[in-house]
A = this chain, B = another copy of it.
Amino acid sequence: MKHQFTPKKYYTTLGSHEPSLRVARGDTIVTTIIDAFGRDASGDQVGPSGNPQTGPFYVEGADPGDTLAMRIDSIWPNRKFGNTRPRIAQIVLDPQYTNISISSEFIQFEIDQGAKTARLQNGPSGLSELTVPLRPMLGCFGVAPSGGQAISTATSGHHGGNMDYNGFVAGVTAYLPVFVEGALLHVGDGHAWQGDGEILGAGIEISMDITFTVDVIKGKRIAWPRGENETHIFTAGNARPLDQAIQHATTEMLRWLQEDYGFDATEANILLGTFVEYEVGNVIDPAFTMVCKLPKQSLQRRKSM
């Protein structure tokens, strides 16, 4: 079933909020997300700042201990401008290298829907031609966390949240652990484009039209968000510092290979160690995100046996 959903309320925590819509396994939701500052497709302030979320969506049949699957069918900017920051976050620079002279005022990109690009407006003279192709991504999404927690949409954890990974694009299926009945899925924080690490402290922040389809894998427990696209499977570890985030992601991938692909421990170690690709999700949020990827091609060697 396909649901057209118009959000009326937005949350800045991921928690066990009153569901805004109940959907069944296999259902598709067509909706919108407002930008990180709370502005909608018209640029009107309709929600709070801080990655306000559309939802939560109660998925029937999802119980604690299951895994929620969420395929991003499409995500696309629904307005003509997006904003980002002009200054690299001090946390990714040497402590003694001070960036303080640079303005922290937001700068604006204009969206060209025909060309599928975003172009910097009124940028400094040396960047007057700065244009990027649109590569729309979902910065923050997740389920209600465990133990009755309500966790700020500024950060991320086992439950997903503000991972700001530029690989969460249309065509990806994300997997999230379910902690509460109905899972309570939230989505928000669209970026028309974002460099690795979100080191400007923002992508090109913009409101989006989004369509996604949910399903439940009964009785399947996972520890961290997982995902897959046409070419790769991947895991996302969320923590500070990066060293801990990479530990979570790598360990989760080892579990995945053993529990779901049938490799034994030695096989999983060799396979992952040989083919692993790491990507930096974000290095500026309260929890950082490291992504551990494996090409599906490397897995097929196994499956063809």
Contacts and interface: CB of A to CB of B under 8 A. Distances in A.
Contacts of A278: 196-197, 279-280
A251 to B, nearest CB: 4
Interface in A105-158: 107, 120, 123-124, 126-132, 146-152
Contacts of A99: 265, 269
Contacts of A196: 276-278
A301 B94 contact: no
A16 B107 CA distance: 37
Interface residues of A, number: 83
A12 B264 CA distance: 37
A231 interface: no
B50 A147 contact: yes
Given A96-B90, A151-B151, A240 B242 contact: no
B86 A127 contact: no
A124 B276 contact: no
Contacts of A84: 273-274
Contacts of A251: 93-94, 97
B240 A13 contact: no
A119 B248 CA distance: 30
Interface of A: 12-13, 15, 50, 84-103, 107, 120, 123-124, 126-132, 146-152, 193, 195-197, 199-200, 239-244, 246-248, 250-251, 254, 262-267, 269-280, 283, 301-302, 304-305
12 contacts: A86-B269, A88-B272, A94-B247, A98-B100, A99-B265, A103-B266, A126-B262, A126-B267, A127-B267, A129-B301, A195-B274, A278-B280
